[in-house]
Homo-oligomer: A and B are copies of this chain.
């Protein structure tokens, strides 16, 4: 075949050729053109090469800083929330835990109120400890207590109020990076005070949707986001315990030996509770060591109780109460439990599944 290289007279190393090439690249630049042949490896790597790095934040550091901010910074209209985002060291400039996920500590001092607003970004709160705050979602007051997962699906008004005399802090998860990176952000202010100051034990959403397998006939049909705003710890704990008991009885249920896990789902579809983020709770029996896995989903985890070790790309870190860690795409990942170990996790897996991009491999072998 006749190609450029073997054409009579071609000399790619000649100074003349190099000069003409340099001129071409200058002309490319002038009109904003970039040749693929100079950028292919960066744009299209052989396997994911995330800039984000595996990273762990200590709760013992995060919490005191959040508490200090409460003495110095008010919560109010404009800033909106006393939430402090965890920035991945591999993504300097952007306060993102991974390229698609935002994770923050939110702190509400006694008797404080965070004003209502809504945004196209989806959000949830996971409660490591404490109680006394109600988040009001589209007018429905939802109690926040230890171990609970509370949803704020996209474009739902929400504000928070602490009715107690103790501060409360929790983990916020949002799809801010994804929505920002695709330019999908809309935001709107609501009332400065939460619109319903009552503090019911159960939210209306739980009263309507909280029966297992029970759907109000007035509201049948799929919805993109879960209509159930609270997933209570008592249920989550019981489901995890049941899986481990079933394992002991020789019955199916666990993900792998010693490893129970539940996914928080939308009862109208059976799919993920939120459209852009997967949320799960994992429990490892003492001594369990999980399989090493890789997935192209990026995720953020928080230690809910117990302790152990996380291994990411071969590097081990001890896990303590409340610690938060980020797992970028295609990181080799494993967990080990010292005593019983409970972890909350969220990821961008639903996005990748819908786009048929998600890949997973077990024990490090490529998918």
Q: Which residues of chain A have a CB within 8 Å of any CB of chain B?
A: 1-5, 12, 17, 20-21, 24, 27-28, 31-40, 43-50, 52, 55, 57, 61-62, 65, 68-76, 78-89, 95, 99-100, 102, 104-105, 109, 111-113, 119-121, 154, 176, 178-188, 193, 204, 206-220, 222, 224-226, 228, 231, 235-236, 238-239, 242-243, 245-246, 251-255, 261-270, 273, 275-276, 280, 282, 296, 298, 328-330, 348, 351-352, 354-357, 359
Contacts and interface: CB of A to CB of B under 8 A. Distances in A.
Nearest to A97: B32
A182 B187 CA distance: 24
Contacts of A263: 214-217, 220
10 contacts: A3-B75, A4-B75, A182-B351, A186-B359, A212-B228, A213-B266, A216-B239, A216-B253, A275-B355, A276-B357
A43 B100 CA distance: 13
A28 B84 contact: yes
Contact of A37 (B12, B55, B81, B111): B81
Given A44-B121, A183-B296, A183-B329, A255 B3 contact: no
A211 B262 contact: yes
A266 B121 CA distance: 29
A153 B239 CA distance: 23
A75 B220 CA distance: 40
A265 B214 contact: yes
Contact of A270 (B78, B211, B270, B330): B270
Given A181-B181, A182-B100, A187 B32 contact: no
Contacts of A211: 212, 235-236, 238-239, 262
A255 B208 CA distance: 12
**Which of A104, A251, A262 has its CB near the most chain B CB atoms (within 10 A)?**
A262
Contact of A330 (B183, B328, B330): B183
B73 A21 contact: yes
Nearest to A357: B184
